[in-house]
Amino acid sequence: MQAAVDKADSLDLNDYTDNDAKAALPDALEAAKEVLADETASQEAVDEQTIALNDILMGLRRKADKSELNSILSKAQAVDTSEYTAASVATLKSAMNRALAIIDDKDMTEEDQPKVDRATRALASAYNALVPKSTSSSGSSSSGKGSTSVNIGNAYGAAGVVSASQSVAANAYVVSDTTVNFMLKRGQAYCFKMTVVNGNAMTPGFTAGNGDVLKTQFVAKIGNDYYYRVYATGTPGQSTGVYTTLPGQNAVKHCTVTVG
């Protein structure tokens, strides 16, 4: 019972969809704590409360991670569509409508994450493919925002690595939105935003030092911002560094992630 109580206490219910299990958890947790505190409680009472609490925990459904989709959508919503061709704007609006429908769906769980990721990639692709009116007549098919990354396949990198080859710029570097070491619970995911500075044509390789501890996944590219997700797959207590590497440069460590 103590293990079940500890697990329930550690949860942030904001991370879970609204259902009967989520609604019942607070009362079930309180009841279990009362039995734990009762030194005269029978084994039957302990077993009953343990089973009840574990059943509720099994019924919880973690929400799908929509943070990257929200971030890209905010950029897309800020676009002045009057500056771009009607065809490319139509594609963007279609992707935005799909993104909004997914964001508004409060019942999406981790099992629906592939749908969220597909919408994220589609929106990023449509954003990057916007064609300025001033260049459409010359046959250009690029907005100057940068083409969709070759990592758009959304696959785990070998040994936790996602990479690409581009031209070298000696003064280019990568800025991470996360530079503080942190803990990530086994089975959970976290998204990094890596911004390439002074290297518009360069795609950073994204690396977990130990691919058995973290798996990496490319999510999206918006201008010079690259979004990568890491999944904690290692054993609790294991740690590994997170690195980026620009073509022709040495790897740069941004932080250490420990599996909790």
Q: Which of 115, 6, 91 is nearest to 54 (CA)?
A: 6
The stretch 22-41 carries a mean pLDDT of 89
Tell if the pTM clears 0.85, that is, is over it.
no
Helix, strand, coil fractions of the chain, as percent rounded to 5: 40, 25, 35
Q: Looking at the chain, which residues constitute the CATH 2.60.40.10 domain(s)?
A: 149-260
Q: Which of 200, 192, 198 is nearest to 224 (CA)?
A: 200
Specify the pLDDT at position 45. Answer: 86
Q: How confident is the model at residue 15 (pLDDT cuts 50, 70, 90)?
A: confident
Q: Which of 127, 129, 150, 124 is nearest to 140 (CA)?
A: 129
Written as six digits, the tokens of 47 are 């077993």
Q: Indicate whether 182 pLDDT > 60.
A: yes
Strand bridging mode 182-184 / 252-259: parallel
Q: Indicate whether 237 pLDDT > 50.
A: yes
Pairwise pLDDT comparison (167 vs 178), residue with the higher score = 178
Per CATH, the architecture of 63-147 is what?
A: Up-down Bundle (1.20)
The stretch 227-245 carries a mean pLDDT of 91
The vertex-81 CA angle with 78 and 82, nearest 5°, equals: 130
- For every residue of 166-215, DSSP letters joined together read ----TT-EEEES--S-EEE-TT-EEEEEEEEES-TT---EEEES-TTTEE
Q: How confident is the model at residue 155 (pLDDT cuts 50, 70, 90)?
A: very low
The stretch 28-37 carries a mean pLDDT of 89
Give percent of the chain above pLDDT 90.
21
3-state DSSP call for residue 81? helix
Which CATH superfamily does the domain covering 149-260 fall into?
Immunoglobulins (2.60.40.10)
Specify the pLDDT at position 24. Answer: 92
Q: Looking at the chain, which residues constitute the CATH 1.20.1270.90 domain(s)?
A: 63-147
Written as six digits, the tokens of 140 are 């250009």
Whether residue 132 contacts residue 84, with contact meaning beta carbons closer than 8 Å, is answered with yes
State the chain's mean pLDDT as an integer.
Answer: 82
